Structure 1
Amino acid sequence: MVKLEEWILGLSNPQGVWIFLAFLLGAIIMKKQPTQLLLQLQERKMRDIAQAKELLECTALSDEAHKLLKDYIETYSFKKFYGIMTTSYERKKLMVLAETHEKEITWVMIRRAFQNRYLVIEDDQLTVKLNRFDWASSKASSFFGFVVGIFSVLQLLVLSGSSQDYSLIELTARAIFATSVFLSAFFFNSLTWPYKNALVIKKILESEEVKPSKGTLSEADGNSPSSH
């Protein structure tokens, strides 16, 4: 147990902790300017949308220009409310899926699966494409999340048992570091959400007798890699 404590505490030595905190502080400071840039781009986008809506009311516009402006506004609105950038054709397909299975499938699930290109349109049908690499990546993320989570918990336990050996500042720094490591475990686990959501959607699509694409996971092998 003593060796375990020494190993865990060694990974969070004062030098490493302060380097990590300095990096975190630098990231927060550097984030300020990009945030301002994003706000400016957002304001510009809002002005463009407002101008497009005004132009739609112009009777002098040709039918083609009217259609392009309408699609531009709908694309932005869909992106704003659902977080998905799509074409008009893709929007119709996704909306049918969400409306048909509103109790089983949420827009968050659709967004994750669609943005990660698990949910695609082939032969005029929505289908879910998953392969061995997707399965392996999901399992790896789950494993790393579990390992990092266990390590952070052990680190916090060891730190709480030896808190009297550190000054208040050093103890706070180590606690922040351990907590940050613990939160990173959630990050690794979040990487598996798109895959898991895609599996749910795939099962529902297959229940409707939608033919799965070649190379995808079968319903029976939903939790194991497909064979090719």
Structure 2
Amino acid sequence: MKIDIWSDVACPFCYIGKRHLEAALEKFPHGENVEVTWHSFELDPRAQQDYEEDQYELLAQKYGMSVEQAKMSTARVEASGAAAGIQFHFDNVKPTNTFNAHRLIQLAAQHGKQNEVEELLFTAYFTEGKHIGRPETLQAIAAAAGIDASGIFDSDAYTKEVRADEAEAQAIGIRGVPFFVFDRKYAVSGAQPVSVFEQTLQKVWEESRPADAAPGAVCDDGVCTPGE
């Protein structure tokens, strides 16, 4: 089974969705036969690398709310994250453009370490308060995953791959993330409960395998045998 996930590392619900899927896969008896591929999706391609405003101020501006309302909103997300085992520290988040982070994820795919790098990026951004828009931060994250990212951010390496993912997202109508596609047949949108992922995994697995059936009457190589 293959699961394709469109995600942005600046999206808290993408982090929660990742945890929920992982929890479902831990219970799924065929988890070792599941391949997960992460795809790039920038929530704000026009985002700056550096901001004077903090996370709360930017949210307030974007959604026309007060800073206090923005803090209340993120507090609810923090609670959802805690239930999934995630420590969100929105007070320390450094808003930035995630394009280079997506290029790193594309590089990680070449080394079979996409999931590891996704986790490191989520943790760096949401828990550790690191500036993942800066090349030196991304270089350190790559090194932590055992990947040499030398020169990547001084070039246009993996730009085409990021843009291809985003074009595919647009083509299939993805407007928000996280967005999970199972075997290119079933989609799950958003950080759904673990039970939804469990049900989807089981459904897709059953539909991808022929049903067991008692043998009927057959003729093979000139010999006919009755069924059971």
Name which structure has the greater RCO, CA cutoff 8 Å, separation 6+: 2
So what's the TM-score if we normalise by structure 2?
A: 0.23
So what's the TM-score if we normalise by structure 1?
A: 0.23
Larger Rg: 1
Question: Could you say which structure has the higher strand fraction?
Answer: 2
Question: Could you say which structure has the higher helix fraction?
Answer: 1
